[in-house]
Every structure is written in structure tokens, then in C-alpha cells.
Structure 1
Amino acid sequence: MRLFLVRHGETHANVARQLDTAVPGLDLTDTGRQQARALAERLATEDLGAIYTSDLVRAQQTAAPLARALGLRVVVLPGLREIQAGDYEMSTEWGPFVDTVKRWREDPEHAIPGGDSGIGFMARYEAAIRRIAGDGHESAVAVSHGAAMRVWVAATAGLDPTWLEGRRLDNTLVLTLDGDPDAGWRLLAWGDEPVTHG
């Protein structure tokens, strides 16, 4: 199947540089709502069978204009939620969170204090992706979150960490993938940039 994995639009926490990962999370800003409308225009020409989002408010708000344009119901999957920051929730100091997530490459059992472990995060995210693929659509959109998308795509598509770290994952950026949970996934495009490896 073709999977369009989308980061949500800009939120008030993004502007304040806060780690906002818990349910329900903060709303989109006016800019974020404009980004959501632009996303709907960009993807409305795709032959999409379904739209999925995490259970965080910002993901559902981002998906809403596209769902209206296509006459589709948004399916909420909690597994698409952001990596849980635990004790770092709403902090503006990202270093400890980022360092812990990077450590998962060598030690996936390591956990963010009060939050996700690498194994726990991957299990829930993979389960959500498997549910999407199992619904049988040839093409679907999933609105998710930056750190979660980066970690899952890197692990699933076998991307070189150096290549990945050099690329921004801005609000409403679309990652285009092809495949399925059993055969594996191939990253076709990072935003507008075609991917020729991984």
C-alpha cells in the first residue's frame, strides 16, 4: 500500500519549544490551521481510502480539512501518538529527551523516565501501522508526530542515521512510503525530496 505519513500542523507548544506529548495536547495555532488547509489541497488529488490520526488534538485538527474535502471519517489510533516524554513533559530543555531516544539504537529497552521505552514505543506504533495496512486500502494518510515518525521510519526503512539527522521534519511535512508490515516499508519521498536509498 501507499502510506502518506504526515506530521501535524504547528501548535502553541511548537512555538514555545515545549515537549507536548501527553493527551490531549495543545491546539493548532492559526498558522497550523492554515497548514492543515494547505495539506488538504495538496493531498485531495490522491486516491485516498482512509485517514488516520493519533489521539492528540493537534493531529485530529490537522486531518479535519482533508477529511472534509474527501468526505472521509477520521479514524483515531492512539498508537500513532508521539513518543511519551514522561518526566520531561512540557519542558523546553529537549536534550535529555533527544539523548534518550538516540540511545534506543543500541539499547531499545532503555526508557524515558516516566515515559516510553524504545521497545514499548515501537510495539504500539507498529500495531497502529499494522491496523492501517490491515484495513485493505491501496492508499491512506496517517497524521502523527515528529519524533515518532522519525524513529519509526528510521527503524523500518533502514535509513542511515546521519542522512536522517540532516533532514528537517517540519509541520505538515509528508513522508511517502510503500509496502506493508510483513514485506517491509520503503521510503519513497521525504517531503518533496525523492529518496533513492533505504
Structure 2
Amino acid sequence: MRLYLIRHAESEANVRGILDTRLPGPPLTELGRQQSQTLAEGLGQESISAVYASHATRARQTAEPLAEALAVDVQSLEGVHEVSVGVLEGRADQASVEAYMGVFRQWTRGDLSVPMPGGESGQQVRARYSTAVAELRAKHEPADPDGIVALVSHGGVIRLSAEWLAGNVRPELADRGLIPNTGMVVLETLPDGGWTCLSWAGLPM
């Protein structure tokens, strides 16, 4: 089974450069809507059996054209929303961004106990996202071991979770390997129950 972890298209918060993680969050921009259509055109002919999205507006709006192209419904999935940044929410100043990145870097290096200021710890993020992915695997892999599932989520949590799930994703990649809007990380299941990363934002692993 393959899992396409897709970052949402450009949102209004992306344009403003702010840390925006609360649900349901802002919608896509006009460019973002165009990006979601391009995504659907690129993936619409693939054998994707299901399309999931976080509860964020921007994720669902990104997923809808792809689901329409595949003649399936967008299914909302708990636990795959962006990292909650607590008191940094809505801020774009350098000090806030550096505080966010400082905690993020500690998580990629294995210290998951550190929380975002007033927000989630890495342990909390890992638990909810890993649980959601495990549920997807249990639901889809037995019926179609060679199938593909698409999940539209968020850049930060995709980078973290890909490292936590796939043994071949190094901390340095999770830390600095930014994923563009509608960029994708492709994971594939392993017989031992784990995952391996096949590509990162278009680059083979």
C-alpha cells in the first residue's frame, strides 16, 4: 500500500506568512484553488482508492477537486491537523517563527517532550498522527495491498510524521526539507509493519 501525504494548496495564511493552526482555519487563495485543480489533473488518472483530508478548510478545499476527478468522496480524518502552536498562533514576527522552529528542531532530533509555547508536545502530535495513519492502513491494506490512499494534510506535521513513520527519513530532511503547497511525500508499507519513504516533494529517496 502506498500513502500520498499531500500538503494543502496555498491558503490566505500562507500569503500573510503567519503561524495559523487553529481549525477550521482560512480558505485557499485563488492561486491555491488553481493549484488544487492542477493536483487533480496530475493525480486524477492514478489508481487512488480513497481521498482523506484534515478538518482544516484549506485541506478539504485542496482534496475536493482530486476526489471529484477520482469519483470518490473526501473523507475527513481526525488527528492529522497541523501542529498546534499555542500562543504563537496568528503571529508572523521573527521571534515567534524562531521559537516555532526551535521546538520543531528538537522534535526532529528525538526530544518529543518539549511543547510549543502553550501548544502541543511532540509526543501528542506523534500519537495522534501515527494513530490516524495506522487506522488508514488497517482499513485499506488488507483489501488492496497494492492500493494508493491520498491524505491531504499540512507541511509541518507531514515532515515530522514521515520521519517518525519511515526509517529512511533522516532528522535533517524532516527539519529542513520544506514541502511546497500541494507537494507530496510518498510512503509505502513494509512487511514488518513499518513504512519506507519513496519520494519527498518530487525527489526520489
TM over 0.5: same fold?
yes
Look up the equivalent residue of 1:121 and give its one-letter code: V
Distance 1:20 1:166 in 2: 20
Deviates more, 1:117-126 or 1:158-167: 158-167
Q: Distance in 2 between matches of 1:77 and 1:12?
A: 22
| SS of the residue 2:105 aligns to | helix
**Residues 166/98 of structure 1: CA separation in 2 closer, same or farther (3 Å cut):** closer
Identify the range of structure 1 (72-81 vs 52-61) with the bigger mean alpha-carbon deviation.
72-81
- Farther off after superposition, 119-128 or 153-162: 153-162
What is the rounded CA distance, in whole Å, between the counterparts of 1:133 and 1:25 in structure 2? 27
Instruction: Report the number of matched residues.
Output: 195
TM-score, normalized by length of structure 2?
Answer: 0.90
2:183 corresponds to 1:173: yes
Q: Which amino acid aligns with 2:71?
A: G
Post-superposition CA distance 1:93-117 (Å, at most 9, x none): 3111111121123421111122111
Runs of 5+ consecutive residues of structure 1 not aligned to the other structure: none
Structure 1 counterpart of 2:139: 135
**Aligned sequence identity (%):** 38
Q: Secondary structure at the match of 1:177?
A: strand
Q: How big is the shift at 1:166? A: 4.6
Which residues in structure 2 correspond to 1:32-51 (within 5 Å)? 32-51=32-51
For the 8 Å contact 1:130–1:181, the answer to whether it is kept is: no
Cα RMSD, aligned residues only: 1.6
Residues 70 and 145 of structure 1: is their aligned pair in 2 closer, same or farther, counting only changes over 3 Å? same
TM-superposition CA deviations, 1:45-101 (whole Å, max 9, x none): 111110111010000000000111111111111211001111100110311111112
Q: 3-state DSSP class of the match of 2:179?
A: coil
Q: Deviations over 1:125-160 (max 9, x none)?
A: 011111211222521000000000011112222322
Cα distance in 2 between the residues matched to 1:109 and 1:16: 30
The code of the aligned residue for 1:130 comes to A
Are the counterparts in 2 of residues 129 and 181 from structure 1 also a CA contact under 8 Å? no
CA contact (8 A) 1:133 1:180 kept: no
- The match for 2:104 among 87, 101, 105 is 101
2:121, 2:9 → 1: CA distance? 26
Indicate the SS of the match to 2:196: strand
Q: Structure 1 length as normaliser, TM-score? A: 0.93
Distance 2:104 2:192 in 1: 25
Please tell me whether residue 188 in structure 1 is matched to residue 191 in structure 2: no
8 A Cα contact 1:133 1:181, kept in partner: no
2:135 aligned with 1:152: no
What is the rounded CA distance, in whole Å, between the counterparts of 1:57 and 1:182 in structure 2? Answer: 35
